[in-house]
Structure 1
Amino acid sequence: MNPAAEPRLAEPTSRLLNLDAIDEVDAEETKMTAAFDVLATQLEGKPEAEAQDMLQKASSESMENHSEMVGGFIFGMLTDGSRAEQASWFRYMNYVVRDGYAHAISVLRYIVGLSRFSRMSVPCRKQLLWLLDQMIALSVPGMEGVVMTLLRQLRGGDVSAENIGLISGTLDLLMRHRDWLFSYSRLIATSFYVYIRLLLEHSKFKTLLDREVAFCSCLIREKFLECSEIGRDLVRALQDVARIPEFEQIWRTLLVEPRKLSPHCKGIVELLKRPTHRHFLQSRLTLEMEQRLLFIVERLSWERHRRNLLWFVERYLSATESDALFADVVRYIIGVYHPSNEVLASNIVPRYVVIGGLLRFIKTNVAAANVKLAIFYDYLFYDPAVDSIMNIEPAILLMYRSVDKYAYITGTLLEFLLFCVDEYYPPLQEVIRRHVQGALADILQKGVINSLVPIVECPAIDTHVRDLARVTLRALLTANPPTAATPLAGATPDLFPQAVESFSQKLSAEDGELGMDSEGDLVTNGVTADAQIDSTQHEVDVLLTDDDMEDAEANAAVHSGSAAASDDEENAEEALPEGESLWLFGGSITEYRTGCRTKDMAKATKALRDMLVVYATM
């Protein structure tokens, strides 16, 4: 065929989003565009009084007219011209509103909630923030829901100019309307949780970081009761920022004199015993991220999920700044997505497999430690009366199903859990021990697994870890020995496949298949294995557009980032990056003992450094 004769895709005509030729313009945007164009034509050159009379008369004819006009004016404010023109469209919208801005709120929630929001042009984002500012100033009912949705669009692990601008602009909005913000307890807590997690990524943006710290420290001091509604993940969030001076003092106050923060605050134990509301765990994933992750855990089989998980990691978790987001994604999988009985009975990939798959891409000991804490966090103060068994199921299944083929995963996780029992909060060591034992007892009683013996007695587990587990879990091991009815704890094949598919660089124009690289290395919790890349083509589970896939250079950077660390990277890691967590990389204790036994003092010294990382405030 003559290439010149091939049909060309029409350029997208969106004024709101930066679309590619293959993208479709949103149907609602098309309607709003048409409505705005009609209004702009009708109003051109009209005096103010005449324009007001015409608009009010037209909007009174029917609610359909009213809705179209409101949507058209909002679209004009986002996409058309200067600030003076924005003000004109806003004034015109106020002339026609007859429902207390209910339809305007509906339109704004739709726009802010677009799954393709990240592709909104920068000028439109700025004009959106201006419009929200105007609506909040008018105390329009329902604006708290719009801002709550906007907080979901602040991307973690993304330090692009566009995203930083949106994060900064939203922060300005919240700080400017502080009194309004303080009227909505759920919005206070959500704003705090989103920004205290985001600020971990902004060390290179000092001005923004200082404002985020000031904002969050103000909220926690002045609205502690509202922030405490977050639950136990409030403590996890505060731990990660405890070395920032403003939060160090708050952390000390919470531990020593909690009533200074609020007369109703009984201390850190009260927070730790309160399960985190799913809303807050959900708030850390953008709407697009959530949609893509749910596609994996709700629709894909064991055999088909790996390619999409690889794509998900490359898309959202590949940047250096994504370390904190790994833990938040794990918390979402554990605390927000609870599969239905229908899904549990199907061949859909289990949650623990997805979590295990994510572990492969963690690049630092600090991130690995924080992810393991995220996995076990609900064990430490588990109460069957208020906690869900679904929150502790993934961790035990990941250990249980890894015994056969991936015992180092079982050993690392078991060691970390036992370490948390003794060291998470020493004054409550026995309390935490009882809660962990209670969590495991509930697991056994409800039949998630039938016995802990296959985990504890796994021959590949370090002797010290096994001995410690036998002491800590003695009653459970004795009461639930393995029987003939106990299924083998072997992993389902390919939990951590030796043949790993790499990220594609381009889509095949013919059938949408993903291209493959030839070979690469795989790191799983510090264990390096050469992996021959599977060059076989498989059915694509999601049609990934060119926009979804990064260029070759970006893919190469991602691939090398998840591969075996270079000598330079290992040396850099020894410096213990800022923000290190109290919670050790699970293998550090074992690595230290092994290094001492084999006289590998460099390895032992590095492991010892990792083990000695503690908060100065603890």
Structure 2
Amino acid sequence: TRAAAPGFAPLLLSLLRRVPFPGDARLPDLIREHSSFLAAEEPQLLASAVFAFLRLLARNRLAPFPRSAECSNCEECKSAKNLEECGEKLVSFCVSVLRDHFQVCTLIGRDLVRSLHELVLVPEFQGFWKDLMLARNTDICRVVTPGWCTALSISPEMETQLLFMMSNVKWGGQKRYQLWFARKHLMVPGGEERIPDIVRFICCGYHPTNEVIQSGVIARWAVIGWLLTSCSKGYIVANAKLALFYDWLFFDETKGNVMNIEPAMLLMLNSISQYVDITNVLLEFLFLLIENYEVRRKEAIEQCVRCAFIVLVKKGVLPSLELLTGCEKLSPLLRQKLVAFLSSTTPVAAVEACLKPINEVSKAAELKKRVCSN
């Protein structure tokens, strides 16, 4: 079989990270032809293919190929048109592999659920959701999405440039790099729709060492803040905020990685001084998610979010939640809601430890560290 040939799997993985591209319509057929072999011998590759195509379909559903006369005959537009033409084939491939090799696809983790939520109005995915996902949704959401998976939804060039920014570019010198990145990747047809996937990659796919965090380079939370302010469409902002908070909704101290939830907290915390509206908007969105994301599991989600807050303090991401609950700049209503939320059915000792007052000197010293041990 061709799938057993040396180099076949790395080649497929490389191609998956570059879709859409001219001629990629043959890729789903090639993978489906060898799906049984891949499920047995290269399960991560098969799961990668499903996730890459799901994210591609989700982005294309939100930003269909522009048909205006103003659209130039550039490579991005050619790729978008190519994707539109083979969309049905991608849907068929994803549903087929999900049904035949569902256990392999669970390697994707909770982002499988996030992706299918975005595609649930597509009839084929709607049927699959009712048949299989409703019963298994909860279990899959407990599985943390691995970093290699989130990297599949951005191009290798994006990954290289983002990693360079977050490991080499010092504070104060990031604007020209951000502008260059935006012109290259975001200011193109369908580019803005990539922002939620970029946010997921930053949260789950790149965890800087303490040495990098202390080196004065631009932090992950700052890059995410810039991306959020770069969104011009409301639904993209909402999807990006969901991507930022997604791990909070299912956080388990025994399985979860605090680095996945750290950027959201630091973005809220560091925006208070000059951009308190960002903190208010993010907190409000988090409460909306708790109330509405999955009503049947509301209590479980509440407990996961409380756990996330407590673990962030325990791991030293912030010295105390009093930085939020005691901040007069925040919306009084949100502050009251946060205090009530943290106190509800949470062990008293844990709440008191997280809400303990700290003096201003201690605040400044602790915030400068921003070191997250895991």
Q: What is the TM-score of this pair, normalised by structure 1?
A: 0.52
Q: Which amino acid aligns with 2:183?
A: E
Relative contact order, higher structure (CA 8 A, sep 6+): 2
Kept in 1, the 8 Å contact 2:32–2:97? The answer is: no
* TM-aligned CA deviation for residue 268 of structure 1: 1.2
* TM-aligned CA deviation for residue 466 of structure 1: 2.6
- The range that moved more, 418-427 or 196-205, is 196-205
Aligned to 1:198: 56
What pairs with 1:112-511 in structure 2 (closer than 5 Å)?
Answer: 137=2, 139-154=4-19, 163=21, 165-183=22-40, 184-202=42-60, 203-204=64-65, 206-256=84-134, 258=135, 267-474=136-343, 478-479=352-353, 480-484=355-359, 485-488=361-364
* TM-aligned CA deviation for residue 142 of structure 1: 3.6
Once superposed, what is the RMSD of the aligned Cα atoms? 2.3
Aligned to 1:509: none
Post-superposition Cα deviations, 1:15-46, rounded to whole Å, max 9, x if no partner, equal xxxxxxxxxxxxxxxxxxxxxxxxxxxxxxxx
Q: Which amino acid aligns with 1:464?
A: L
Q: Which amino acid aligns with 1:170?
A: L
Q: Which amino acid aligns with 2:43?
A: S
Paired with 1:225 and 1:416, the residues of 2 have a C-alpha distance of 32
What pairs with 1:69-88 in structure 2 (closer than 5 Å)?
Answer: none
Instruction: Tell me the secondary structure at the aligned position of residue 435 of structure 1.
Output: helix
What pairs with 1:554-573 in structure 2 (closer than 5 Å)?
Answer: none
Identical residues among aligned pairs (%): 32
How many residue pairs get aligned? The number is: 340
Paired with 1:201 and 1:332, the residues of 2 have a C-alpha distance of 15
Instruction: Tell me the secondary structure at the aligned position of residue 190 of structure 2.
Output: helix
Runs of 4+ in 1 over 3 A off after TM superposition: 136-139, 175-183, 201-207, 456-464, 475-479, 488-492
Per the alignment, do residues 431 and 138 of structure 1 end up closer, same or farther by CA in structure 2, a change over 3 Å counting?
closer
Q: Which amino acid aligns with 2:96?
A: C
Unaligned 5+ segments in structure 1 are 1-135, 156-162, 259-266, 493-618
Post-superposition Cα deviations, 1:393-435, rounded to whole Å, max 9, x if no partner, equal 1110100111111111000111111121221111111111111
* TM-aligned CA deviation for residue 469 of structure 1: 1.4
* TM-aligned CA deviation for residue 488 of structure 1: 4.8
* TM-aligned CA deviation for residue 450 of structure 1: 1.3
Kept in 1, the 8 Å contact 2:110–2:143? The answer is: yes
Per the alignment, do residues 185 and 255 of structure 1 end up closer, same or farther by CA in structure 2, a change over 3 Å counting?
closer
Kept in 1, the 8 Å contact 2:35–2:46? The answer is: no
Kept in 2, the 8 Å contact 1:335–1:391? The answer is: yes
* TM-aligned CA deviation for residue 464 of structure 1: 3.3
Instruction: Tell me the secondary structure at the aligned position of residue 191 of structure 2.
Output: helix
Q: Which amino acid aligns with 2:122?
A: I
Paired with 1:444 and 1:490, the residues of 2 have a C-alpha distance of 11
* TM-aligned CA deviation for residue 171 of structure 1: 2.8
Unaligned 5+ segments in structure 2 are 66-80, 369-374
* TM-aligned CA deviation for residue 255 of structure 1: 4.8
Q: Which amino acid aligns with 1:248?
A: Q
* TM-aligned CA deviation for residue 167 of structure 1: 3.1
Kept in 2, the 8 Å contact 1:456–1:470? The answer is: yes
Question: If you compute each CA radius of gyration, which structure gives the higher value, 1 or 2?
Answer: 1
Kept in 1, the 8 Å contact 2:272–2:330? The answer is: no
* TM-aligned CA deviation for residue 178 of structure 1: 4.3
Instruction: Tell me the secondary structure at the aligned position of residue 167 of structure 1.
Output: coil
Q: Which amino acid aligns with 2:13?
A: M
* TM-aligned CA deviation for residue 352 of structure 1: 0.6
Instruction: Tell me the secondary structure at the aligned position of residue 301 of structure 1.
Output: coil
Kept in 1, the 8 Å contact 2:319–2:366? The answer is: no
Kept in 2, the 8 Å contact 1:451–1:486? The answer is: no
- The range that moved more, 401-410 or 136-145, is 136-145
Kept in 2, the 8 Å contact 1:217–1:247? The answer is: yes
Paired with 2:322 and 2:24, the residues of 1 have a C-alpha distance of 49
What pairs with 1:57-76 in structure 2 (closer than 5 Å)?
Answer: none
Paired with 2:351 and 2:329, the residues of 1 have a C-alpha distance of 18
* TM-aligned CA deviation for residue 272 of structure 1: 0.8
Q: Which amino acid aligns with 2:334?
A: V
Kept in 1, the 8 Å contact 2:280–2:331? The answer is: yes
Kept in 2, the 8 Å contact 1:231–1:276? The answer is: yes
Instruction: Tell me the secondary structure at the aligned position of residue 221 of structure 1.
Output: helix
Kept in 2, the 8 Å contact 1:352–1:398? The answer is: yes
Paired with 1:242 and 1:417, the residues of 2 have a C-alpha distance of 22
